[in-house]
Amino acid sequence: MQATEPLAAAGAATPAHATFFPTPTVKRRVTVMVYELFLLFAVEMLAVLVYLLLTGNRQEPLFQHGLKLWLFLVTGLYFTWCWRDSGHTLAMKTWRIKVAQAGHARLPWRTAIVRYLLAWGWFAPALLVCAAAGLHAKGEIAVALVVGIAVWALTAFLDKDRQFLHDRLAGTRLVQLPKIKR
């Protein structure tokens, strides 16, 4: 049996007969992340265009590092604003998943930012290993990322509520919203 979360914490109206939302399955959450990659790709391509227009497409190392920082900030703004505003991104909304924190109708900014930074645990360890080991080939980096992502995904199976490590550390949880009957 999966853990549940009160409706009030998910920010929805509380019907008298339904007081809890279940935790979405790990498979469903990973599917949402794949869908999110496509949407995030579009957001980041627009951000790259803006950056290149503002910098005149300069290619010096400073501007290349600036682009990485710009994308990190744009991605962070995209996720934290969505989580703070409605509790979900477009991909999460499509799959009826919402980020919730007990005692809050809306995710506080600080919690959203902490969750974003902790979510880099999906990628950062593998990227640090690549940098430390001097891996530069796309295949080597891809293998490191796949291994790192798989290890992070397994953290959900170590948690009694099946929450990923970044959600546990941030004090948030993902909840499955019910289908809306029309």
- For 154-172, the DSSP string reads HHHHHSTT---HHHHHHT-
Q: What angle do CA 145, 76, 55 make, to 5 degrees?
A: 95
Q: Which residues of the chain have pLDDT under 70?
A: 1-19
Distances (CA, A) of 173 to 23, 53, 179: 8, 39, 19
pLDDT for the residue numbered 19 = 41
On whether the pTM is more than 0.95, the answer is no
The rounded mean pLDDT for the chain is 89
pLDDT for the residue numbered 181 = 85
What digits encode the pLDDT tens for the residues 57-67? 999 999 999 99
What digits encode the pLDDT tens for the residues 2-31? 444 444 444 444 333 334 789 999 899 999
What digits encode the pLDDT tens for the residues 27-40? 999 999 999 999 99
pLDDT for the residue numbered 9 = 43
pLDDT for the residue numbered 55 = 96
